[in-house]
Chain A
Amino acid sequence: MKGPSRAAPYVFIGPTLILLAVFSLLPILVAVYISLTDMDLAGLANYSSIKFVGLQNYADVLGDPVFLLALRNTLFYVVIGVPLVIACSLGAALLINFGRSRAFKVFRVVYYLPSVTNVVAVAVVWSYLYNPGIGLFNYVLTSLGFDKVAWLTDPTIAKLSLILLALWRSIGLNMIIFIAALQGIDRSYYEAAQLDGASNWQQLTRITIPMMRFAIFFVSVTTMIGWLQFFEEPFVMTQGGPLNGTVSASLFIYQNGFQFSNFGYAAAGSFVLFFIIIAVTLLQLRLQRKQAEE
């Protein structure tokens, strides 16, 4: 018997690499090519009718007022949604971790439930809650003597309504990650701090939060990427309306690609979004590295 063969590591990673190449890298390359053509439905049936148009699609999409509005809406979702998700799921994790009784275990499940509920079912229920005439929210508001709120029919309020819905859906998963990180912190830090007379608040800000830096970083990167691709909520609740007020970059791409069959145009839009996501993620990694060096 010789020692481990030099090929062994490649055999182990081979299947993954092949799958990645066939199902991820290759489609991306094909999409790059499509984004440089005028591919539409006729092009699908007959490849010879596809024309190469260079960077025309990119120029068009960056000049499309609806796409620019979609990018602005996406920025709105990210800037408000991401910090809210991190704060709320961290808060929920801390509170649940605080208690020792069985009730807290139950709440862990309760908070997690929205994440595993089908988004279409969620949309049906929430559209009733938001219904302008017979919705629960407006019913409560009017019976308390307030005015009705145009939950889904005013461009700005509709964005906030969708953020509320997305927040409710995404707390659970991130909370689980935070709880796992919390339970990984060595108890001896707290014991030492308590001996030195540190208050609960000091323990939280000086031990818990710094120890959870990597979990927070992980959650903020994944949440940021997820929210830059904000899609399901406007897709099922508003289809981008009113007045394009809730259309996100991903929804714009979907509508152009699969509703109007402008595959080249949609592919160009998706690469613009792709580069934005890469840029934002690299920026986050850099900030994290800088922080780690300090």
Chain B
Amino acid sequence: MKTKTASAAIAAVMLAGTALAGCSSGGSDSADGGKVTLSVWAMGDSSKPMEQMAAAYAKENPNVTVKVQAIPWGSAHDKLLTAVASKKGPDVLQMGTTWMPEFAAAGALADLTADLGSYPELAADHFFKGTVTSTQFDGKTVGVPWLAETRVLFYRTDVLKSVGYDQAPKTWDELLDASKKLTERGKDKYGIGLDPKEPTLSFMFARQNGAKLIEDNKAQFDQPQYRDTVAYLDSFFKNGYAPIDLGLDTSQTFGGDGMVPMFISGPWMIKTIKDQIPEIDGKWATAVLPSKENNMSSLGGSNLTVFNFTDHKAEAMKFISFLSKPENQLEWMKQTGELPANMKAWEDPQLSGDPNMSVVGEQLKNAEPMPLVKAWDNISQNFVKTFEQIYRANGNIDAQLKDFNAQSQQLLDK
């Protein structure tokens, strides 16, 4: 009998132990003796790059231990939901710019407005204007810009030359004209690759046409500037200038004789093209986007934020300020290929000396994040479906946009 009670007691203790351990994992435990454990969630598949930064940081700050966890982008949203629900998460959190409003509205991100004063190196004027915009929510600063990316035009110089374009198209009209001429090269030839499933595509073009998207929390998608943009983009699909359902990826369509000799994408494609289609080296280039009223691009990337339920805000800020230093941003770029948001880092010859990168840098000066409302993810996904009704099912543009505008307004009013 005695042994039974004892084993039951042991079992109970073990159970309780695992339960407690389960609760504290991922949270931040402060250890004794002034030693602080800082928990960091970095987005991506590998925790290595961040671990190396953490090791460098720990060398300068021996009283801090940095624990790094890598969160793959695909499962990050679910993981963040769990963290918010349980109020247990990291101290420092890398956050995609498009998710900022959603999680800021949920109160998951600490308000850094007052703290920034003590960190002059994190002042807004060190970073690209668009990246700073993405850290603002409700008049508060809830993050620090860290990585930046934006969309630029990729094109095959040799193929464009063959239809009379010595340079990349500079205006919307030229883009349409070049696409037409490129498509007329023959069967199975297209002008430009536009991904209709990319949620930022239409909004980015609409801004170039002077559309406001959302103003004073009122959806502006039924306005003529927006309507004309959708019609402009639709014409690429309707005329066969942009392929639908080709099922091939860029390495197959951009190489060779240039089945699709232009596309709009982010800076990561520079490395992809160099690695996968080295044979077209010297026959392609990047350019800033063609303009209508302006040529503003869409800005993405990620910010560093402090989780609202942390006990180590000061230490977290210190670590963030370490990561934001230009030399550390360049080190990060070397390891991951992700580009710095700190403008100082762009003066380094690694970036300023590379013609493709300087195009990206120039476009970054003229790029804005998507509207910072918490329903944005939902609105943009709805537009992907609305646009599909237009280009694939020949839906009436005015009727579709009227519905979409009403639907968006409903989401904004929530």
Contact = CB atoms under 8 A, between A and B. Distances in A.
Contact of B85 (A38, A44, A153, A260): A44
B389 interface: yes
A75 B102 CA distance: 35
Interface string B107-125: 1100000000000000000
Given A41-B105, A258-B77, A261-B81, A243 B247 contact: no
Interface in B390-414: 392-393, 414
Contacts of A260: 377-378, 381
A259 B385 CA distance: 15
Interface in A9-63: 38, 40-42, 44-46
A242 B392 contact: yes
B84 A153 contact: no
A41 B308 CA distance: 14
B393 A243 contact: yes
Given A41-B84, A258-B81, A259-B377, A135 B247 contact: yes
A119 interface: no
B247 A41 contact: no
A114 B230 CA distance: 43
A121 to B, nearest CB: 15
Contact of B103 (A41, A241, A242): A41
B406 to A, nearest CB: 13
A44 B247 contact: no
B248 interface: yes
A45 B84 contact: yes
* A interface secondary structure, majority: loop
B106 A243 contact: no
Contact of A132 (B106, B107, B197, B247): B247
A150 interface: yes
B77 A133 contact: no
Contacts of B414: 38, 40
A244 interface: yes
B388 interface: yes
Given A44-B81, A45-B84, A258-B81, A241 B388 contact: yes
B81 A41 contact: yes
B377 A242 contact: no
Given A150-B245, A258-B78, A44 B106 contact: yes
Interface residues of B, number: 30
A268 B246 CA distance: 38
B77 A45 contact: no
A67 to B, nearest CB: 14
Interface in B239-267: 244-248, 252
The number of chain A residues touching the other chain, given as a range, is: 20 to 34
Interface string A122-157: 000000000111110000000000000010010000
A289 B368 CA distance: 65
B246 A132 contact: yes
Contact of A134 (B84, B107, B244, B248): B248
Interface in B297-322: 308
Contact of B388 (A40, A46, A133, A243): A243
Nearest to B246: A133
A169 B363 CA distance: 48
Nearest to A131: B247
Contacts of A261: 81, 102
A153 B243 CA distance: 13
Contacts of A45: 84-85, 87, 106-108, 308
A41 B84 CA distance: 8
B377 A44 contact: no
B77 A259 contact: yes
Nearest to A257: B81
Interface string A232-262: 0000000001111000000000000011110
B332 to A, nearest CB: 29
A241 to B, nearest CB: 7
Nearest to B375: A260
Contacts of B78: 258
A243 B377 CA distance: 18
Contacts of B106: 41-42, 44-46
Which of A45, A135, A153 has most chain B Cβ within 10 Å?
Answer: A45
Contacts of B197: 241
B77 A132 contact: no
Interface in B87-113: 87, 102-103, 105-108
Interface in B193-207: 197
22 contacts: A38-B414, A40-B414, A41-B81, A41-B102, A41-B103, A41-B105, A42-B107, A44-B81, A44-B84, A44-B85, A45-B85, A45-B106, A45-B108, A131-B247, A132-B245, A133-B246, A133-B247, A153-B244, A241-B197, A243-B385, A243-B389, A243-B392
